[in-house]
Chain A
Amino acid sequence: MGKTRLPEIIAHHEKDLLNEWMQRQNEFLRRDRISEPQSRANSHDFLRALSEALSRNAGMDLARNEWTNMRELLADISRQRAIQGFTPSETATFVFSFKKPLFARIGIEYADDKQGLADEIWTATELLDKLGLYTAEVFLKTREEVVLRQQQEMLELSTPVVELWHGVLALPLIGTLDSARTQIVMQNLLEAIVARGSDLAIIDITGVPTVDTLVAQHLLKTVAAARLMGAECIISGIRPQIAQTIIHLGVDLSGVLTKATLADAFQLALKRKNLTVSRS
Chain B
Amino acid sequence: MERIPILKMGSFLLVTIQVDMHDQLALTLQDDLTSRIVRDRASGVLIDISALDIVDSFIGRMLGNIAGMSRVLDAETVVVGMQPSVAITLVELGLTLPGIRTALNVDRGMELLSASKGEAGGDGRQDG
Contacts and interface: CB of A to CB of B under 8 A. Distances in A.
Query: Do A and B interact?
Result: yes
Interface of A: 187, 190-191, 193-194, 197-199, 221, 224-232
Contacts of B125: 230, 232
A198 B84 CA distance: 13
B87 A199 contact: no
Contacts of A232: 125
A231 B97 CA distance: 15
B119 interface: no
Given A197-B108, A199-B108, A230-B108, A225 B84 contact: yes
Contacts of A187: 84-85, 88
Given A227-B127, A229-B82, A230-B80, A221 B88 contact: yes
A36 B31 CA distance: 80
A230 B84 contact: no
Contacts, number: 57
Contact of B105 (A197, A224, A225): A197
Main secondary structure of the interface of B (DSSP, over half): mixed
Interface residues of B, number: 22
A191 B84 contact: yes
26 contacts: A187-B84, A187-B88, A190-B84, A191-B84, A194-B83, A197-B108, A198-B104, A199-B103, A221-B88, A221-B91, A221-B92, A224-B96, A225-B87, A227-B102, A227-B127, A228-B82, A228-B87, A228-B90, A228-B97, A229-B82, A229-B104, A230-B80, A230-B102, A230-B109, A230-B125, A231-B104
A221 B96 CA distance: 11
A230 B112 CA distance: 10
